[in-house]
């Protein structure tokens, strides 16, 4: 994939370009972001851009003051195609990849005049399907992994915690700090899945210390926040697994590699046969996608 980039257009006529040379490019009003948009409606860290072979993964920060629009609809997490336009408070972000544009142009020129695909394109399609089958079925003598065996490991242990504070006053102080840390990490979850996972444990710790301090109302609120976040993350894992298996069945390796990487992000804190299988599958899919890109 050629180096992708984003073009930024502001309502007052400013325009500039930033190359997406990292897997994690932050857009926001903070000077630490790679794409800085100094507007009151833009959060310090508002959007994460992560380039992929078939498009750009976009994640919006929880609690962002302004929605990010794609095709007139607000999005939270999505893979958008190259050439897509995102809008934040009147600022337009156009995501581009020169390689993707060239591929489309060359594909059109290779078509025959009667609208039928050329033999070259048909041959490439056949080869692509064959290579994908080789990878999915384990072309290294039957030792390859088509998809991870078994079930994904549990993402979380029990949320029951014991507060280690020596007295009620210390417990209240610890609970307040745990809750603050949990909220901050939960807000960064769209940028880093493990922050969300850590937030669940911190909410559980806060609930335990609030109970010890005798503040049952805040203990319940903290436990509810942790439980809801836990269920949301577990649903995300199941959704990515479903989309991964559909992409494999439909022979869409670019989509499959995106889903497997998102699953690995959610399971970084876990080990076992299933996670090992995901890592093996990711390497095989990435190799297949790289070969397809090289042929173009």
Q: What residue segments make up the domains of the chain, in order of their start?
A: 4-101, 117-296
pLDDT value for 193 = 87
Q: In this predicted model, what pLDDT tens digit does every residue of 6-34 receive, in sequence order?
A: 999 999 889 999 999 888 899 999 988 99
- Cα of first residue to Cα of last residue in the chain, in angstroms, is 10
* pTM greater than the 0.85 cutoff: no
H or E, element range at 198: helix 193-212
H or E, element range at 17: strand 15-19
| CA 285/CA 189 separation, integer angstroms | 26
Q: In this predicted model, what pLDDT tens digit does every residue of 120-136 receive, in sequence order?
A: 434 443 334 343 443 33
Residue 116's pLDDT band (boundaries 50, 70, 90)? very low
Closest CA to 27 of 41, 9, 46, 14: 46
Q: In this predicted model, what pLDDT tens digit does every residue of 167-225 receive, in sequence order?
A: 999 999 999 999 999 999 998 888 888 999 999 999 999 999 999 999 999 999 999 99
% of residues, the chain, pLDDT over 90: 53
Asked whether the predicted pLDDT for residue 142 surpasses 50, the reply is: no
HEC readout, 27-83: EECCCCCCEECCCCCCCCCCEEEEEECCEEEEEECCCCCCCEEECCEEECEEEECCC
Contact (CB, 8 A) for 113 and 15: no
Q: In this predicted model, what pLDDT tens digit does every residue of 88-111 receive, in sequence order?
A: 999 999 999 866 543 333 333 333
Q: Domain spanning 4-101: which CATH class is it, in words? A: mainly beta
Exposure on the CB side of residue 5, measured as CA atoms within 13 A: 11
pLDDT value for 181 = 96
Mean model confidence pLDDT for the chain? 82
Q: In this predicted model, what pLDDT tens digit does every residue of 40-57 receive, in sequence order?
A: 999 999 999 988 877 899
pLDDT value for 146 = 65
pLDDT value for 137 = 37
Contact (CB, 8 A) for 46 and 35: no
| CA 229/CA 270 separation, integer angstroms | 18
Q: How is residue 117 annotated by DSSP?
A: P
CA-based torsion, 55, 56, 60, 61: positive or negative: positive
pLDDT value for 174 = 97
- The pLDDT of 257-263, averaged and rounded, is 88
pLDDT value for 242 = 87
Contact (CB, 8 A) for 256 and 147: no
Asked whether the predicted pLDDT for residue 68 surpasses 50, the reply is: yes
pLDDT value for 138 = 39
Closest CA to 6 of 38, 30, 41, 37: 37
- The pLDDT of 247-265, averaged and rounded, is 85
């Amino acid at each position: 994939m050629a180096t992708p980039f984003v073009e930024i257009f502001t309502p007052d006529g400013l325009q500039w370009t930033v190359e997406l040379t990292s897997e994690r490019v932050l857009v926001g009003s903070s000077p630490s972001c790679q794409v800085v948009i100094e507007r009151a409606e833009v959060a310090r860290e508002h959007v994460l851009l992560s380039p992929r072979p078939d498009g750009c993964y976009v994640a919006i920060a929880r609690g962002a003051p302004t929605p990010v629009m794609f095709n007139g609809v607000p999005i939270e997490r999505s893979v958008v195609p190259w050439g897509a336009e995102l809008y934040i408070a009147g600022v337009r972000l156009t995501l581009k990849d020169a390689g993707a544009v060239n591929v489309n142009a060359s594909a059109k020129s290779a078509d025959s005049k009667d609208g039928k695909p050329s033999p070259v394109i048909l041959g490439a399609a056949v080869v692509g399907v064959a290579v994908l089958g080789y990878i999915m079925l384990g072309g290294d003598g039957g030792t390859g992994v088509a998809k991870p065996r078994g079930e994904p490991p549990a993402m979380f242990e029990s949320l029951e915690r014991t507060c280690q504070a020596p007295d009620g006053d210390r417990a209240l102080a610890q609970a307040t700090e745990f809750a603050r840390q949990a909220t901050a990490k939960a807000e960064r979850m769209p940028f880093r899945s493990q922050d969300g996972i850590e937030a669940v444990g911190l909410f559980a710790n806060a609930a335990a210390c609030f109970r010890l301090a005798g503040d049952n109302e805040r203990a319940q609120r903290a436990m509810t926040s942790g439980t809801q976040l836990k269920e949301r993350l577990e649903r995300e894992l199941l959704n990515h697994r479903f989309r991964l298996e559909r992409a494999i069945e439909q022979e869409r390796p670019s989509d499959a590699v995106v889903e497997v990487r998102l699953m690995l992000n959610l399971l970084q804190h876990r080990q076992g046969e299933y996670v090992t299988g995901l890592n093996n599958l990711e390497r095989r899919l990435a190799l297949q996608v790289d070969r397809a890109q090289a042929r173009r």
